[in-house]
Amino acid sequence: MSQFLLLLYNDTTRPRRLSPEEMQNTLERYMAWRNEPFTLDGQRLAEDVGRVIRSDNGTPRTSDGPYSETKEVLAGFYLIEAANYDEAVKLAITNPHAQHGTIEVRQIYGT
């Protein structure tokens, strides 16, 4: 089996407004997906802007956040096992995030 990283992005131009009941239901769906046998790991990222390190003529430079202006932000990830990309995509589509966000599927090198 190969391993795939599912990168979950949120659209910052369309904030979601959920009732307490909707929030609880959404959380339960994410937790259930996290407990599927093909899911190896998964975490929500903290709400800070993060740090980016870029090379500037061979010298590492650090800046806040991935971009100064962005419409999507990385919100979290899952690490899953699947036979191939087709299976990984089929599994990713069942993730609750597919209903309101973007999921990028990437194979882990060497798996």
Domain boundaries, the chain: 2-107
Mean confidence (pLDDT) of the chain: 88
Q: With cut-offs at 50, 70 and 90, classify the pLDDT of residue 69.
A: low
Q: What percent of the chain has pLDDT over 90?
A: 54
What distances in angstroms separate CA 70 from CA 11, 60, 67, one per listed residue?
Answer: 9, 22, 6
Q: Which amino acid is at 58?
A: G
| pLDDT, average across residues 61-84 | 82
Chain Cα centroid distance, residue 17? 20
The domain 2-107 having CATH identifier 3.30.70.1060: the answer here is yes
| C-beta of residue 34 within 8 angstroms of C-beta of residue 78 | yes
Which pLDDT belongs to residue 63? 81
107 closest CA partner among 99, 91, 97 = 91
| DSSP letter string, the chain | -EEEEEEEEEETTS-----HHHHHHHHHHHHHHHTSTTEEEEEEPPSS--EEEEEETTEEEEEESS-SS-SEEEEEEEEEEESSHHHHHHHHHTSGGGGTSEEEEEEPTT-
